[in-house]
Structure formats: C-alpha cells, structure tokens
Amino acid sequence: MSYLLLTCAILVEVLATSMLKSTDGFTRLWPTVGCLVGYAVAIWLLAQSISHGMQVSIGYAVWSALGTTLIVIIGVLFLDEPITLPKVVGVVLVIAGVVTLNLAAAH
C-alpha cells in the first residue's frame, strides 16, 4: 500500500511541476492554483506512504529520483528542452543513488 501511495504522490508531483511553466511565475491564477493544489496533494500522499510503514529516507529518495527522471523526460519531450550528456549522467547518478539506498535499507 505504501508504494502505491508513493507512486500516486510522484505522479501528482510531476503533473504539478509540469504546470510550473504555465503559471508564468505564479501570475496566472488557474494554472497557479492547479500547481499549488497538486503539490499539496503530492505531499499529503507522500506523508501517507510514510505513515503506512515506508522509511522516510527511502520514500523521499524514490520520490525525488523518479520525479526528477520523469521531469527531465517531460522537459525533453514536451517543453523543448535539450537532452544533454550532463542531464543523462545526472539522472543515471540519481537513480544509482536511490538503488544504493534501497539495497542498504534491505540489510
């Protein structure tokens, strides 16, 4: 159950982050409201996943790694951001760090 909640939290947070550009610096009301509500729901879902037994360090590491990876992909595919070697290396390192944390927590 905690991983399902975490997955939902990540997806909602990625959606909210994807809306940031459309807020135009928080000057457009409805995109801003959608973005902020998305972040609030995402944090609530993250808290629920942790309260259902997930370690904070694991939950937050997975949240940040998958969120970062998905945002990089969305940026490249939909927001006209370039894909660069440093971006790819950075994402690989973030994922490697989360895998390491998960392996350490299992022992």
pLDDT band at 101 (very low <50, low <70, confident <90, very high): confident
Domains of the chain, residue spans? 2-106
**Cβ neighbours of residue 41 closer than 8 Å, sequence gap 6 or more:** 12
Cα gap 58→34, rounded to integer Å: 28
Q: What is the pLDDT of residues 18-65, one digit of tens each?
A: 999 999 999 999 999 999 999 999 999 999 999 998 989 889 889 989
Answer with the residue of higher pLDDT: 99 or 26. Answer: 26
Q: Are 58 and 49 in contact (CB under 8 A)?
A: no
